[in-house]
């Protein structure tokens, strides 16, 4: 299996606490967050990982080159911000199969092999991990039908919260055929621009409903909360 990790952003909400550290190298339980991501991927039998860098790219490159993860790792670097969707334009020619799209500030314990089986069964172009929303007011929510096919993305802010709201968990499984749907003009956002385009064109996007731990580490507070959670 193949994974693409997006790690080009500055992580502006973390800059005050970690001004010279890229998000992937921020410590979680005594080791860089990148190590947690790669260990999870290895547990799920991944053989190929593409890390898309930008801000402080050399620090990530230096760290990865000193490590022996036991899997194939390719590093790419955006010369200017491409956005979480636009980064796919950069790596499209080295994508060899359906791939997981992960974010460099999202911790996940999702069983990716089960998610892959779901993706194949549904013959999806994109499968998005979704889960019940604990903070729907400040989350992008999704609507889906009885077959788990996503029908709409509800962007924040919301004037009305649906009953039993679900939100995107920032873990995606994407068909290698996504190349023909990519936008020409960068930067653009994967969720807000590309997924919306796919829905408008009736391209099959499915929601993989899971309650497995997934957490955004975009703020010092959330990083601290995850540290406490993992100690239990």
**pLDDT tens digits along 182-215:** 999 999 999 999 999 999 999 999 999 999 999 9
**19 falls within a domain:** yes
How far apart CA 208 and CA 128 sit, in angstroms, is 6
Q: Identify the CA nearest to 111 among candidates 6, 231, 1.
A: 1
Tell me: pLDDT of 175 over 80: yes
**191 falls within a domain:** yes
Buried b (16+ CB within 10 A) or exposed e, 48-81: bbbbbbbbbbeebeeebeeeeeeeebeebebeee
**144 falls within a domain:** no
How far apart CA 71 and CA 45 sit, in angstroms, is 10
pLDDT tens track for 14-54: 877 888 899 999 999 999 999 999 999 999 999 999 999 99
**7 falls within a domain:** yes
Query: Do the beta carbons of residue 226 and residue 215 sit within 8 Å?
Result: yes
pLDDT at 217: 86
DSSP classification of residue 125: S
Q: Tokens in use for 65?
A: 């080159």
Residue 102 sits in a domain whose CATH number is 3.90.550.10
Tell me: pLDDT of 11 over 80: no
pLDDT tens track for 97-110: 999 999 999 999 99
Domain carrying residue 52: 2-132+167-231
Q: Identify the CA nearest to 210 among candidates 124, 123, 126, 108.
A: 108
**118 falls within a domain:** yes
Mean pLDDT within 58-81: 96
Structural domain count, the chain = 1
Tell me: pLDDT of 147 over 80: yes
Tell me: pLDDT of 13 over 80: no
Query: Do the beta carbons of residue 14 and residue 26 sit within 8 Å?
Result: yes
């Amino acid at each position: 299996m193949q994974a693409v990790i997006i790690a080009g952003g500055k992580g502006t909400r973390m800059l005050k606490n970690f001004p010279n550290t890229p998000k992937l190298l921020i410590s979680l339980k005594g080791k860089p967050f990148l190590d947690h991501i790669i260990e999870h991927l290895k547990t799920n039998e991944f053989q190929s990982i593409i890390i898309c860098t930008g801000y402080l790219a050399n620090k990530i490159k230096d760290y990865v080159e000193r490590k022996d993860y036991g899997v194939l790792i390719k590093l790419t670097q955006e010369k200017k911000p491409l956005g979480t969707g636009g980064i796919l334009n950069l790596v499209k020619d080295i994508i060899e199969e359906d791939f997981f799209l992960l974010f460099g500030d999202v911790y996940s314990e999702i069983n990716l092999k089960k998610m892959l089986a779901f993706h194949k069964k549904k013959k999806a172009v994109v499968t998005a991990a979704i889960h019940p929303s604990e903070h729907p007011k400040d989350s992008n929510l999704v609507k889906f039908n009885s077959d788990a096919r996503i029908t709409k993305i509800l962007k924040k802010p919301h004037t009305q919260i649906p009953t039993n709201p679900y939100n995107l968990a920032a873990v995606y499984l994407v068909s290698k055929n996504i190349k023909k749907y990519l936008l020409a003009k960068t930067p653009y956002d994967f969720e807000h621009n590309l997924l919306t385009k796919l829905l408008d064109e009736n391209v099959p996007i499915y929601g993989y409903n899971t309650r497995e731990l997934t957490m955004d580490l975009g703020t010092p507070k959330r990083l601290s909360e995850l540290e406490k959670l993992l100690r239990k």
